[in-house]
Chain A
């Protein structure tokens, strides 16, 4: 379990995140939604130990501040929004970097094959020999996800759950790959791990999240199951948009929802 209590983050003296309480349980996808600049990414950076914060964050009951980088890396992997490289690494070499900590959770002999398996999971079979810098943005994002999956391949290690932190994992993906990636997250949770994901698509969020945390101006505006959180009032207040939940558009207006995926 990941627990944040009363977490605040300031960058250059400016409060970005204020008194946020948060929990991500194993077996669940915890989504963080909110408008641009509401502090979602900053909060995730605090959660991953990248930014200094006040308040308390515990990873499987251990205080995050007391953990060494390698200890934290054993139990959670982080997918950033975008990663640029200045050296010509191949896709395989990038994915292999996920194994640098050496605790993927598979038998030692299987580690060598793990990059291929991870690439196959993110629908990049046959990409291992390509150069990362030559790929499209969406393909690069999936390569990074494959790397992250290698780091915590087994969702449970030594009896303790592990976590995926995903910062807008589907932002640059086509609809097919959005569903593939969200299915990977759901599968990871079903097998005993936990997922924390920043998402923008409210339909995908409603479909996959077990719990939604809504952030607004650096504070937690609401938290709970999708059907309780995604209401007309909340969306108007937080997103400043008069939208109705669950209302079908006019009959001649096409609309495509991820929920219709067969």
Chain B
């Protein structure tokens, strides 16, 4: 039986058949370790040869001045350049992966992904509008909101696309995959066209910012950026676990979820706002990093099943780790130059997406 073979080593003796929760907990625990290792790897890889042992020892003894293990230059590199970059990577990887999992639950479809269906494009439009028009048309807004203007604008753009998409693709509580993907395509194209107009209006300095940012990158991570988007992402992510039971019930359809006592309307809007906030904040600092939201939840579903109570935290952990690994590749593969991380995730993610599509062709009716 397939269920039994998958149940594997995680305690077939003690766990009831078909109950994958023990295994899910084990996987989550391992992912915590993997994330710690990834962070350490991210802190120690690069031109400076700070060793992992050195970083840990320095961190443990660093509170005492003059007792530091690393040189002043290495400390600067590790604490002011690599650490914010690693933290930003974890935050964004987690935000994108969890957003993907939540959207897939919401649309009842394993192919939904914020990047694929235009949510990221909407966020980009909002962010580019602030970058280009921030000192002219939108000056009152940017001066009033300060560093929050960019994430807020990205959030608004993403929210607008998600709401529109949901309206277009869902009829009588059923979401048509074909309408979802096609409407997402159209909305993404529209958002990109509008973004194009803004880019056309941009000056040289803004253009340089925009190009790198649009391909997606963790470069330029600073403590200040983490301060402005970190709280948004952490808030959005900490709301998600409360949606897990509802999203599980939603797998049976909106009507049945309602019959089970789930306040479906509230669930849907909380999910949409949460996803838009998380994606908007990510896009605001790092641009469009694709495919994390589709690859991570899919891999985890193969491993621990689709129960969102475990899938959401596991997605956050694996998303963070994978993005750090992708960033390590981006930093080293063309060293001393650096590849935008969005290119790395697309090169790895797009074939993976095609593979899912081929595998699922019989199961998903478009």
Query: Which A residues, 35 to 79, have Cβ-Cβ distances below 8 Å to chain B?
Result: 45, 48-50, 68-74, 76-78
A94 to B20, CA, bound (A): 12
Q: Given A90-B20, A133-B363, answer yes or no on A100-B248 (Cβ-Cβ < 8 Å).
A: yes
| B2 on the A face (CB < 8 A) | yes
In the complex, the chain A residue whose C-beta lies closest to that of B255 is A50
Question: Do B261 and A100 touch (CB < 8 A)?
Answer: yes
Residues of B within 8 A of A112 (CB): 16
- In the bound complex, do residue A90 and residue B363 qualify as a contact, i.e. CB atoms below 8 Å apart? no
Residues of B within 8 A of A74 (CB): 261
Report whether A69 and B263 are in contact in the complex, using a CB–CB cutoff of 8 Å.
Answer: yes
CB distance B252 to A131 under 8 Å?
no
Asked if A197 CB lies within 8 Å of chain B CBs, one says no
B contact patch SS = loop
Q: A-facing mask of B295-307, CB < 8 A → 1, else 0?
A: 0000001000111
| B262 adjacent to A69 (CB under 8 Å) | yes
B49 at the interface (CB under 8 A from A): no
Instruction: Out of B4, B261, B263, B305, name the residue touching A89 (CB < 8 Å).
Output: B305
Residues of chain A within 8 A (CB-CB) of B1 are: 129-130
**Taking A90-B305, A100-B260, A100-B261 as contacts, is the C-beta distance between A128 and B18 under 8 angstroms?**
yes
Q: Is the CB of B251 within 8 A of A73?
A: no
Stretch at the interface among A80-88, A230-238, A254-262: A80-88
Chain A residues with Cβ below 8 Å from B255 are 45, 50, 78, 80
CB distance from A149 to the nearest CB of B (A): 13
Using a CB-CB cutoff of 8 Å, which residues 86-135 of chain A contact chain B? 86-94, 97-98, 100-101, 112, 115-116, 126, 128-131, 133-134
Total interface residues on A, CB under 8 Å, equals 42
Q: Which of B278-326 contact A (CB under 8 A)?
A: 301, 305-307
Q: Name B172's closest neighbour in chain A (CB-CB).
A: A11
Task: Decide if A68 touches B263 in the complex (CB within 8 Å).
Answer: yes
Q: Is A8 interfacial (CB 8 A cutoff)? A: no
A91 contact set on B, CB distance < 8 A: 3, 18
Which secondary structure characterizes the binding site on chain A? Answer: mixed
* A residues near B261, Cβ cutoff 8 Å: 69-74, 100-101
Residue ID in chain B nearest A45 by CB atoms: B255
Q: Whole-angstrom distance from the CB of B309 to the nearest CB of chain A?
A: 10
Say whether B126 faces chain A, with CB atoms less than 8 Å apart.
Answer: no
A205 in contact (CB, < 8 A):
no
Chain B residues with Cβ below 8 Å from A68 are 263
The reply to whether B18 and A83 form a contact with Cβ atoms under 8 Å apart is: no
Query: Does A151 have its Cβ within 8 Å of any Cβ on chain B?
Result: yes
Chain B nearest CB: distance from A1 CB in Å?
19
> Are A128 and B251 touching (Cβ within 8 A)?
no
- Interface 1/0s, chain B 209-253, versus A by CB < 8 A? 000000000000000000000000000000000000100110111
Taken residue by residue from 249 to 272, chain B's Cβ proximity to chain A (1 for < 8 Å, 0 otherwise) reads as 101110110111111100000000
B249 with A97: CB separation less than 8 A: yes
Per CB-CB distance, the 6 closest pairs between chain A and chain B, nearest first, are A73-B261, A92-B18, A129-B3, A87-B306, A129-B17, A90-B18
Tell me the A residues contacting B by CB distance below 8 Å: 45, 48-50, 68-74, 76-78, 80, 83-94, 97-98, 100-101, 112, 115-116, 126, 128-131, 133-134, 151
12 A-B Cβ contacts within 8 A? A77-B259, A78-B256, A86-B109, A89-B251, A89-B307, A97-B249, A100-B260, A112-B16, A129-B4, A129-B17, A130-B1, A130-B3
